[in-house]
Amino acid sequence: EALLQNAPENSAVHVVVAELSAAGGDTAAARKHLKKALEIDGNSLAALLGLARIESNDGRLSAARSLLRNALEIAPENSIVMNEMANVAAIEGDQATAASWLEKARAVDPRAVRPRIRLAKLYLAQARHAEAASVIREAADVDPENAEVRNLLGVSEVIAGNHRADAGHFARAVDE
């Protein structure tokens, strides 16, 4: 509240208060502050993403998609926005569109691990093992100590029948 008193017309302050509200379980307050942030600055990527996540979590996928499209107009090469578009598609059960958004995120941000992890899991679920293994190796090149990546490397090795390698990946994932 002190933040709001000192800077009531600062969109970033409203985004921070919204994040705190959401973390405390008060999505109504979070929604209110994100909408206020957008009134102040209609190009606030953080507010658009935050509100899109709330809408998506509340099952308002059309509203979430609209907000994310606005975000893409502002930041067309933003892998985080693309990852959120993939979330909406996945919730709708459209795995092909989810994969497409994750591939786009992967292409625009060679250092982004999250879309690679999600894409590898999606490929594994579709029994596209070679593609999953390739994406997992990319993620490992970016973040070799990431426990989730290490685990997926192990899963990939199990599927490929390389049980010596999988033990090492799983052991490292557990140690981390």
Which pLDDT tens digit goes with each residue over 62-76? Answer: 999 999 999 999 999
Local confidence band at 2 (pLDDT 50, 70, 90 cut-offs): confident
Name which residue leads in pLDDT, 95 or 6. Answer: 95
102-159 tens-digit pLDDT: 999 999 999 999 999 999 999 999 989 999 999 999 999 999 999 999 999 988 888 8
Specify the DSSP class assigned to residue 76: T
Length of the chain: 176
CA-based nearest residue to 45, from 77, 91, 20, 2 = 77
pLDDT confidence of residue 119: 96
- Asked if 65 and 88 count as a contact pair (C-beta separation under 8 A), the reply is yes
Give how far Cα 60 sits from Cα of 20, 52, 55, 63, 130, Å: 21, 9, 5, 6, 35
Confidence of residue 168 (pLDDT cuts 50, 70, 90): low
Structure tokens at 92: 């709708």
The fraction of the chain above a pLDDT of 70, given in percent, is 91
